[in-house]
Structure 1
Amino acid sequence: MPAGTINEMEELQQKINELLEQKKFFEIKELINDLHPADVAELMTFFDRDDQVVLFRLLKKDMAIGVFEQLDFEHQENLLNSFTDDKVSEILNVMSPDDRTELFDELPAKVVKKLLFLLNPDQRKMASILLGYRENSAGRIMNPGYIDLKEHYTVDQALDRIRKLSPPEDMIYTAYVTDYQRHLIGTVTLRDLVLSSPEKTMKNIMNTDIIFVTTDDDQELVARTIQKYDVLSLPVVDHEQRLVGVVTVDDAIDIIEEEATEDIHRLAAIQTTEDEYLHNSL
């Protein structure tokens, strides 16, 4: 349930403060677990570090992961420093790989090395692969999870595979058709599958005019491509045209906001320099 307006958020903060003082943790648990993860993440920033830890521990597991991914890096780092290794391991192993890589990029190399050892072997391998790509590249920001289909699959078989994969919400709308060497040969949207006859194959309904980026492409190019073609996700291929991941629209929004902030800071620095120059000239 969304928290709504700023006033409602302030009222929530006040109510939780009162409940914390009264140590009514069960009531807090019921209250915050009924909110949207983004609202809980925003709410937590109004509390001090100790109270943030208390609130986070009152979240259900799935909600906790959603909230953690929504927090900024400073608050994520504060929470990680407050948890046991077991708790940190639990969080990192279920985070989406792209969000986890983004977090690692903000932490000192020594800390990242320690955190990598808290991952299970599969997640550690995945994290190491993503961290191996150039910083600010498509490979570095992509999510290596995606819906892959084969061209001989019928619509029924494709939908059954999607159910089994149970992808996150931001990745369910587009599936990628690959050959047995993982070369990307087409895309199929959820709309295509829903509106097509059950017996039709992916070869009959897939779009072969594919918009994609490579692992070495700059993240700003990736974001602008998603914006230009108005797509929800963009496939990322390696140098042999093999599908290795996807970048979703929420990642693109983050990149555009980040680039805009950097541009503003750059312009502010130029303006300051110009003002100082004019002042000194006079």
Structure 2
Amino acid sequence: MHIEKMEELFRQWLQEKNFLAVKKEMSRLPVQDVAEILNHLDAKNSLLAFRLLPKDGAAEVFSYLSDKIRVAFSQMIEEDELKSLVEDLFFDDKIDFLEEMPANVVKKILQTTPESERRLINQFLNYPEDSAGSIMTIEFVDLKADMTVAQALTHIRYTAPKKETIYTCYVIDQERHLLGVVSLKDLVVADPDTRIEDLMDKQVIAVKTHDDREFVSSLFKKYDLLSMPVVDQENRLVGIITIDDVMDVLEAENTEDIQRMGGISPTEESYISQSPFTMAKNRLFWLMALMISATFTGRIIQKFEDFLQNMVILAAFIPMLMDTGGNAGSQSSTMVIRGLALGEIKTRDVFRVVAKEFMVSVIVGLSLAGLNFLRLVVIEQVSTTISLVVSLTLVVTVIMAKIVGGLLPLLAKMVKIDPAIMASPLITTIVDAMALVVYFYIAGLFIKI
């Protein structure tokens, strides 16, 4: 059944106090679907349904709830109940939860946390937000090089219930230096008396705690990993990153890029949960900046006001030229920004990008100009001179737009600015001004007034 229909059923059952139906349905659904339904209920009904979950399933559902609902729960439930929920979370989910909670809630939870775990939590909370350390977990299986396969499997059976993943095991020495990795598959098929040091893979793909999480996600994609070790500066194993956390990072980064490309300040809140004031604030800065920058096009038109008064027909083609230039530039910037995000384009490729965009723009520009010239002369019956001016301007505008659209994201990357900033709104504003200057210059060459 569709999730939206399930939400309506849950509301109906809760209103009718048919708690048995709610409990039965939640036991049947995947925890992710249960969390999605609870996220869309009001806080009171969501908590009411949540309390019908069995204890062993509540923590798992809790880890998938939205920050808004989790904050509401933390304010509505008793301290002991909240502490029990947090204790049952995997360590990385616990860190994610604490990062989003109000300071008084974090303080309340840490006060009842054992000293050793509290130190670890504080260490994790101090990692930079976009670092590998901020998304890693300490719940992994570690083995010693001198273990036999039989001993390793016994160790895994004993520790597995408390670990987030057991499919890849990490081999360390007495000082916790990372020596290698071994998969559960290799352990299962190997001779029980084989030593781990003879079985492990010493070529380990690892990251440092302060490496950027986007870099981490690119390594996962490149090497098709399910998990990756995180080491400190002395190559000591401090945690691992799992594929589910990388998927969250990719979603967050893609959302941020899309928001920047649309001229919106990035936010982690969902569209529905944001207040109109917050949404307006996130959009207003860019709209104001683009509005002010657009005054340059007005200044250019004012400068050629006398020219336009004597040749009014030229003004009719300004919107078409500006729109085509903006669209052409946006196409190039979108492709380059995506290429940078996927690692397909590097900053050293700047000349290759410019050359390619130039060749593309010549083909596109000439095609558009030829079609436009025929349209103006045959259908619109505009004079040949005016048609030629508009068509030549179209070629030059497309060439400039595509080069600018391809170049600006690369320049942004070089100076450590998010390339997504150099997207449609900004490119369009720049190209509009350039298109007008070119238009009036070419018109001045062909039309003597």
User: TM-score, with normalisation over the residues of structure 2?
Assistant: 0.58
C-alpha contact 1:231 1:249 (8 A) present in aligned 2 = yes
- Counterpart of 1:224 in structure 2 is 218
Q: CA deviation at 1:280?
A: 6.8
The one-letter code of the counterpart of 1:140 is S
Correspondent of 1:179 among 170, 173, 177 = 173
Correspondent of 1:165 among 125, 146, 159 = 159
Q: Distance in 1 between the 2:31 and 2:185 partners?
A: 28
Q: Distance in 2 between the 1:250 and 1:107 partners?
A: 21
Correspondent of 1:199 among 146, 168, 193 = 193
Q: CA deviation at 1:106?
A: 2.1
Q: Deviations over 1:45-70 (max 9, x none)?
A: 22111100101100111211111101
- Counterpart of 1:31 in structure 2 is 25
C-alpha contact 1:133 1:139 (8 A) present in aligned 2 = yes
The one-letter code of the counterpart of 1:204 is D
The one-letter code of the counterpart of 1:120 is P
Correspondent of 2:204 among 210, 228, 236 = 210
Matched residue SS, 1:136: coil
Q: CA deviation at 1:229?
A: 1.0
Q: CA deviation at 1:110?
A: 4.0
- Counterpart of 1:64 in structure 2 is 58
Could you tell me the percent identity over the aligned residues?
37
Correspondent of 1:281 among 290, 297, 300 = 297
The one-letter code of the counterpart of 1:227 is K
Q: Deviations over 1:183-231 (max 9, x none)?
A: 1001001111122111111111100001001111112211221121111
- 1:137–1:167 distance in 2 versus 1, CA, 3 Å: farther
The aligned runs of 1:27-176 (5 Å cut-off) are 27-167=21-161, 171-176=165-170
Q: CA deviation at 1:122?
A: 3.9
Unaligned ranges ≥5, structure 1: 1-6
Between 193-202 and 181-190, the greater mean CA deviation after superposition: 193-202
Q: Deviations over 1:141-173 (max 9, x none)?
A: 210121000111111111111110024685111
Q: Distance in 2 between the 1:15 and 1:242 partners?
A: 51
1:238 aligns with 2:232: yes
1:263 aligns with 2:279: no
C-alpha contact 1:85 1:118 (8 A) present in aligned 2 = no
The one-letter code of the counterpart of 1:277 is S
Q: Distance in 2 between the 1:50 and 1:248 partners?
A: 33
Q: CA deviation at 1:264?
A: 1.2
C-alpha contact 2:74 2:105 (8 A) present in aligned 1 = no
Q: Distance in 2 between the 1:17 and 1:135 partners?
A: 37
Count of residue pairs brought into register by the alignment: 276
Matched residue SS, 2:230: strand
Q: CA deviation at 1:76?
A: 1.1
Q: Distance in 2 between the 1:198 and 1:204 partners?
A: 12
Q: Distance in 2 between the 1:275 and 1:228 partners?
A: 41
Between 38-47 and 167-176, the greater mean CA deviation after superposition: 167-176
Matched residue SS, 2:228: strand
Q: Distance in 2 between the 1:58 and 1:258 partners?
A: 31
Between 93-102 and 164-173, the greater mean CA deviation after superposition: 164-173
C-alpha contact 2:35 2:61 (8 A) present in aligned 1 = yes
Matched residue SS, 1:236: strand
Q: Distance in 2 between the 1:230 and 1:275 partners?
A: 45
Q: Distance in 1 between the 2:73 and 2:296 partners?
A: 47
Q: CA deviation at 1:279?
A: 6.6
For the aligned residue pairs, the C-alpha RMSD in angstroms reads: 2.0
Deviation >6 Å, runs of 4+: none
Q: Deviations over 1:19-70 (max 9, x none)?
A: 2222121332122122211010011122111100101100111211111101
Q: Distance in 2 between the 1:28 and 1:46 partners?
A: 15
Q: Distance in 2 between the 1:203 and 1:51 partners?
A: 54
User: TM-score, with normalisation over the residues of structure 1?
Assistant: 0.90
The one-letter code of the counterpart of 1:43 is I
More helix by share: 2
Q: Deviations over 1:105-127 (max 9, x none)?
A: 22343442233213233432321
